[in-house]
Amino acid sequence: MISKRIIPCLDVRDGRVVKGVHFEGLRDVSSPVELGAYYSENGADELVFYDITASAEGRGLFIECLREVARTIFIPLTVGGGINTLDDFDRVLKCGADKVSVNSGALRNPGLIDEAAKRYGSQCVVLSADVKRVNGSYHVFARGGREDTGREALSWLREGIGRGAGEIVLNSMDTDGVKEGFDLPMLRDVCAFSSVPVIASGGAGKAEDFVTLFRECPRADAGLAASIFHFGEVTIPEVKRLLRENGIPVREVI
């Protein structure tokens, strides 16, 4: 049986992990290579790196560290942030990324999804969406959640899948940072029609939240979190142990 995936997400600025914290045995908490290796050794099923750099120089540093990560870590790597063109896909895929996550770039130019899926295959194209309830309907936000596009989220995700996105990362802005669990109603609404894997994001505060996620929304394929893992509040082995005890299939940490 296929396992539910647990995915830590690392924000990287100028080649350094933002919000890096101290783990035992970790010399440099801001090193994407060291933190990535730590997670890989400790049960992460996949890693997501978001490049939140603004400058071209910082982009170069990100590429450097991505290449180093891909030389030493042998689990799937997803890269997002500042992906606007096929050249951006090319840039990160050449350095060892397996999947590329598009968000604002695809909202500006939806054809990017088609072109990327055609050139690299759907398995390579992850559509990430920041979604928030506005006046009783789901709206997609662009630019890291700063700009309401006014676009209805479910229709946007449907369109993205139709254009060839191979996976969805659904980030609920309503539960993000609240740490009281994933946005189950929103996830259910998306899982109801999605023919591709759905990765839940936003709201994980404790290990039990992952159990609730997969129990209440069995069609969700993965849970993604950043701060709770980075701050060591919850560890991935702990999450997986609890999931296994609750009969939810996970990959053994070896």
Partner 1 sequence: MIAIVDYGVGNLFSLRSSFAFIGREARVTGSREEILAADRVILPGVGAFGDAADKLRQTGLDQAVLEAARRGRPLLGICLGMQLLFEEGEEFGLHPGLGLIPGRVVSMRPAVPDSLKLPQIGWNGLHLMKNHPLFRDVREGDQVYFVHSFYGTDCEDSLLATTEYGAQITAAVGRGRVMGCQFHPEKSGKVGLRILKAFAETEDFTC
For the chain, the first-to-last Cα distance in angstroms comes to: 18
- The alpha carbon of residue 147 and the mean position of all alpha carbons in its chain are separated, in whole angstroms, by 20
> What is the C-alpha to C-alpha distance for residues 176 and 180, in angstroms, rounded to an integer?
9
What character string, x for contact with partner 1 (CB under 8 A) and - otherwise, covers 194-233? Answer: -xxx-----------------------xx-----------
- Helix-then-strand count for the chain, H and E: 10, 11
> What is the C-alpha to C-alpha distance for residues 191 and 210, in angstroms, rounded to an integer?
16
Whether residue 38 contacts residue 73, with contact meaning beta carbons closer than 8 Å, is answered with: no
Please give the residues from 168 up to 197 whose contact with partner 1 meets the rule CB under 8 A.
Answer: 195-197
Catalytic residue status for 11:
yes
Smallest separation (angstroms) from partner 1 to the CB of 209: 20
How would you class 208 by CB atoms within 10 Å of its CB: exposed for 0-12, middle for 13-18, buried for 19 or more?
Answer: middle
Window of 11-19, 49-57, 101-109, 115-123 that interacts with partner 1 by CB under 8 A: 115-123
Whether residue 35 contacts residue 26, with contact meaning beta carbons closer than 8 Å, is answered with: yes
> What is the C-alpha to C-alpha distance for residues 62 and 55, in angstroms, rounded to an integer?
11
Answer yes or no whether residue 1 interacts with partner 1 by CB under 8 A: yes
Window of 47-55, 68-76, 140-148, 151-159 that interacts with partner 1 by CB under 8 A: 68-76
In the list 98, 159, 174, 216, the residue contacting partner 1 (rule: CB under 8 A) is 98
Active-site residue (options: 45, 51, 88, 130): 130
Catalytic residue status for 189:
no
Of the pair 70, 213, the CB lying nearest partner 1 is at: 70
- The contact set with partner 1 (CB under 8 A) reads 1-3, 5, 40, 45, 70-72, 74-76, 93-96, 98, 121-124, 166-167, 195-197, 221-222, 251-252, 254
Just list the catalytic residues. Answer: 11, 130
